[in-house]
Amino acid sequence: MKQHMMKQLIAISYKNNKLDEKVVFKIACLLLRKDLKRYVRALKNYEKKRTVTVSLPSISRELIHKNEYLLKKIFPKKEILYKKDPLLMAGVRFSHHDTIFEMSLRNTLEQIAAHAGETDR
């Protein structure tokens, strides 16, 4: 199956910006195994592209509510998901498709350790 046909399948699998399970099931039954694998991978990629995952050390409704407008401005037309990650210690990490922006205490400490360990050039 060609690339543009796969993109068309992805497009029709969504209704009102949400995944239509009935359509997905119908398409899945009609595809050969190899194309089905590609279809599933393409769906996952599409979901990753339209979703931004915000990882925080602790999640509070007040924090979400306070920053929701700002996040929607930074990431327009994207669905924002919140995830708890205590390992960050403090700060935030944004994951969008294949790009990760991390501004956390853990990252700062790792960078300090790497910087201190560098030899003089």
Partner 1 sequence: MITTEDIIAKLEKRIHSFNDSGKKLNVGTVMKNTDGVITADGLSDVAMGEIVTFENGNSGVVLNLDEDTVSIILLGSQENLKEGNRVETTGKLLSINVSNEYLGRTINPLGNPLDGKPDIKGEKDMPLERIAPGVVEREPVNTPVKTGIKAIDAMIPIGRGQRELIIGDRGLGKTAIAIDTIINQRIQEKGHKRVICIYVAIGQKRSTVAQIVNKLKEEKALPYTIIVVADASDPASFQYLAPYAGCAIAEYFMEKGEDVLIVYDDLTKHAWAYRQLSLVLRRPAGREAYPGDVFYLHSRLLERAVKLNKEGHGSITALPIIETQAGDISAYIPTNVISITDGQIFLEADLFNSGIRPAINVGNSVSRVGGSAQTGGMKSVAGKMRLELAQYQELAAFAQFGSELDKETLTRLERGKRTIEIFKQAQYRPVAESLQIAIIWTVSNGHLDDIPLEEIQRFEEEFSQYLQTRHKKLLEDLGSGTKLTEPINQTMEKAVKDFKQLFHG
CB of 22 to partner 1, least distance (A): 27
Q: Looking at beta carbons only, is 7 or 26 nearer to partner 1?
A: 7
Q: Looking at beta carbons only, is 62 or 118 nearer to partner 1?
A: 118
CB of 93 to partner 1, least distance (A): 9
Contact footprint for partner 1 (CB under 8 A)? 3, 41, 45, 97-103, 107-108, 111-112, 115-116, 118-119, 121
CB of 41 to partner 1, least distance (A): 7
Q: Looking at beta carbons only, is 20 or 102 nearer to partner 1?
A: 102
- CB 39, CB 31: distance < 8 Å: yes
- CB 108, CB 116: distance < 8 Å: no
> Which candidate, 92, 70, 72, places its Cα nearest to that of 83?
92
Q: Looking at beta carbons only, is 7 or 66 nearer to partner 1?
A: 7
> How far are the Cα atoms of 8, 39, 98 from residue 3, in angstroms, in the given order?
9, 10, 20
- CB 24, CB 54: distance < 8 Å: no
